[in-house]
Amino acid sequence: MKIKRFEASSMSEALRMVKKEFGEEAVILSAKTAGKAGRLLGGKRGGQVVVTAAIDPAAVAPDPLDEVSAAADTVSGQKAAASGQGNGARPAGGIAHLLQRYTPITRTGQEKLKPKFIRLMTESADRPVADPVANAPVSVYDRLREGGMGRALATELADQITAVAADDQTDPDETLAAAVQIIEARGWVAPVRGAMRKARRIVVLVGPAGAGKTAVAAKMAGHAVLYAKQSVGVISLDDQRIAGTVELERFCNLMGVALQTARDSDQLQSALACFDDCDLVVIDTPGLDPLALAPRERLAGMLMTLDQADVHLVFNATTQSRTMERVSDFFGPLGVTRLLPTHLDWCDRFGPVLEQVASRRWPLVYLGCDARLPEGLQVAGARAVAERLFNNVQEQHEGLQANPETDNADATRPPSQSSVQGRYVANRNSDIFHQRDCKAVKRINDDNVWLFRDGTDAMAQGFKPCRMCCASLLAPKTIDRPAQARYAGGRK
């Protein structure tokens, strides 16, 4: 950039000097009027204008080759947009090669060659160019990182999967099978059968408020009653929320499960004594404030009186990684032995969950997949975890296992038809219950579904049978004699 100072007697004269020197492209940096001191008595005489201007020599006369390149880029962009490859790579070295071949000496020659430049650039843009980045396979490490897994664990797991699969860029099925083997070898999933004992099994659900502990307790009890045909007892320690046990009490009444409440260790032992003959006892605990340690210590004292209980930390799988760490640190002193992620239907990154499993050594037994009762709770098999890790989850609404108390190898076995027939469904916002194959069931929201073992159970809860699918359960109404006579007379 060239800068020069101009002095003149007036502003118009100064601007004429700038225009003559720099031309129309000149830029005025400053302009001021300065007076000179007079010879007598220090007075000032005629003012003088001082103008500072600048010019960029490169911007004075633009090169016509730039116009050619811009025009060619416009044509190339239009061609790519029409073919759906607007973001594709340009031909390597196309414009540079053309400019080296056709560099005219005079401005007249440049103007004559402009159409030829445009034609050559258009032909170059029409040639298909392979994009090596788009065709490059995604490595196992990149897939794990996309799933939200940290760098250290992703590197370690990718190396192990690659070693098992014998290649980093393998078939997805082979990669998934290798991941299943690694997950089983690391002990990231624990079978339900491994947690069962000859005596009753006690499961304690702890976690922050809103994680879904009450819903998980109802689903776990529903699985044991409807599928495993086991006797179940439920204990609620939630005495902090207003009507904290009302929802759980409603679930237990629908499934025919006994519910007990407790506020201290003595009441907890009394409630457990009532369930001595039960196969499974599920204990629901209140959500705790992370800033209040006294309620946690009180709950820890109550849980210490339990004999060999499985303590599951229930948490929302969509929670941020740092929040998961904080939740695990807070509830760890309660004797947590298992992790139970919920809201997996809203979670698309399963890596942070496995980060907690690997660092805390708390395996997965159950997965909270959706809000359905009780089908929304699934057994955490190694293959199911691997599919969620690689974000390859298939629709499993019809693939729930019939018996969650079996080994994880049977986690995807569908329920038998005998276990489905004879069950009835109702909308919690209605007073009508239906059979499962009734068309009205399709319009019921999953969050509002109530299940019944038989029609008698449904009617005992105050629901009425559907006239379309449950007509056999309707009590026939007798017609009084006068009405019958009128009806018979009308037919004559």
10-residue stretch averages of pLDDT, the chain, 492 residues long: 85 88 83 67 66 76 55 55 48 51 53 67 63 63 88 90 70 84 89 60 92 91 85 86 75 87 91 90 90 89 88 92 92 93 89 91 91 85 88 49 41 36 72 85 77 78 84 68 56 50
CA dihedral 153, 156, 157, 160 (to 10 degrees): -170
Q: What is the DSSP letter of 406?
A: S
| Dist. CA 19–CA 7, nearest whole Å | 13
157: DSSP letter: H
The residues, any chain, with a CB within 8 Å of residue 395's CB and separated by 6 or more, are: none
pLDDT value for 97: 55
- The pLDDT score that the predictor gives to residue 476 is 65
Q: Are 309 and 205 in contact (CB under 8 A)?
A: no
Tokens of 238: 């939630």
- Whole-number Cα distances in Å, 174 to 161, 162, 414, 417: 9, 10, 24, 33
Query: With 0-12 CB in 10 A as exposed, 13-18 as middle and 19+ as buried, what is 265?
Result: middle
Query: Is the peptide bond prior to 290 cis by the omega test (within 30 degrees of 0)?
Result: no
Q: Where are the alpha helices (DSSP H) in 83-187?
A: 94-101, 107-126, 132-135, 140-146, 151-165, 172-186
Q: 51 Cβ partners below 8 Å, 6+ apart?
A: 5, 6, 7, 8, 11, 14, 15, 17, 18, 28, 30, 31
CA distance 460 to 15: 100
User: Are 389 and 355 spatial neighbours (Cβ–Cβ below 8 Å)?
Assistant: no
pTM above 0.85, yes or no: no
Structure tokens, 33: 């009027």
Name the token pair of 422: 């004879």
**What is the CA angle 466-472-474, rounded to 5?**
60
Report the length, in residues, of the chain: 492
The pLDDT of residue 331 is: 93
Gap between the Cα atoms of 221 and 227, Å rounded: 10
Distances (CA, A) of 283 to 160, 244, 319: 38, 14, 24
Residue 333 pLDDT: 92
Q: How far apart are CA 229 and CA 227, in angstroms?
A: 6
Q: Give residue 486's pLDDT.
A: 56
Helix (H) or strand (E) holding 50: strand 44-55
